[in-house]
Structure 1
Amino acid sequence: MVSTSNVFSSYSVNDLDAAQSFYGDVVGLEVDRTPMGLDLHLESGGHVFLYPKKAHVAASYTVLNFGVDDVEAAVDELVGKGVQFERYVGFDQDAKGISRSPDGPAIAWFKDPARNVLAILSNP
């Protein structure tokens, strides 16, 4: 049987140094460098592994979601650190790039240095 005691997600990046700086200094995660890549420690106790890939192709979908109590404050904080938020066709987004739908959480998308899509969204 498959064990679920150590489940984690992983995705590729094209520059470990840039990813370590971004996830550690900008996003504020604890980041450990390992011989094989980066281990991002999440406050929930989980972790995400980032590995280098020479032929990296950025994910065109959201690979990591950050649930927060105040989406607008989180967006403002990241913008203050130089993060640019994405705009997507079909989503009604405000001036800050936040989409507020009656059918779902407030959400705003941004990209890491490897162009993988990340999101800030309101906690349920």
Structure 2
Amino acid sequence: MSQLPGLGKYNIIGFVTIVDVPRAKDFYQNTLGLRLILEEPPFALVFEANGIMLRLGMAKERPPAHGTVLGWQVPEITATVKSLAQAGVRFERYEGMDQDESGIWTSPTGAKVAWFKDPDGNTLSISEHPELKR
């Protein structure tokens, strides 16, 4: 059986739709600390996130999105939540989710997740995965 070429060895590119370009640029660059590498109006703002390309596609309206569209795996979620909250990020609370006072939910596997929205209402997350630590 021949080995399929696959995509596992290549970097992934993230795509998020934005409408309010100046607010999104400020949020992703100054609040989240991502490096803006290219502006391609009227198509996209391109950021670098730890070696991964993130393209914020410019649109007239944001298509409906269900669930989280983009997330970051972080080593210490509590410290990251605190840092982002100090930068002005407001964490979401969801009915029926047993979230702590900071908005962090612990999954049955022990992973911890907190959600927030960007200026266009896209749901983003940060998560800590003890089961993936080596």
Return the TM-score normalized by structure 2: 0.81
Partner SS state of residue 17, structure 1: helix
Q: Can you give the 5+ residue segments of structure 1 that lack an aligned partner in the other structure?
A: none
Matched residue SS, 1:56: coil
Instruction: Find the counterpart in structure 1 of residue 31 from structure 2.
Output: 26
1:2-81 matches, within 5 Å, as 4=7, 5=10, 7-32=12-37, 33-35=39-41, 36-43=43-50, 45-57=51-63, 59-81=65-87
Q: Using the TM superposition, give the Cα deviation of residue 29 of structure 1 relative to its aligned residue in structure 2, in angstroms.
A: 0.7
1:91 to 74, 97, 100: 97
Q: Which runs of 4+ in 1 moved over 3 A?
A: 1-7
Shift of 1:11: 2.2
DSSP-derived class of the 2:89 partner? coil
Residue 41 of structure 1 and its aligned partner are, at CA, apart by 0.7
Could you say which structure has the larger radius of gyration?
2
Residue 104 of structure 1: CA displacement? 4.0
Write the distance in 1 (CA, Å) between the matches of 2:70 and 2:55: 11
Q: CA deviation at 1:18?
A: 0.8
Aligned residue pairs, count:
123
Q: TM-score, normalised by structure 1?
A: 0.87
- Shift in alpha-carbon separation, 1:74–1:65, aligned structure 2, 3 A: same
Cα 1:115/1:58, change in 2 over 3 Å: farther
Q: Judging changes above 3 Å, is the alpha-carbon distance between structure 1 residues 53 and 96 closer, same or farther for their aligned structure 2 residues?
A: same
- Extract unaligned runs of 5+ from structure 2: none
RMSD in angstroms over aligned alpha carbons?
2.0
CA distance in 1 between partners of 2:88 and 2:115 (Å): 14
Residue identity in the other structure for 1:47? M
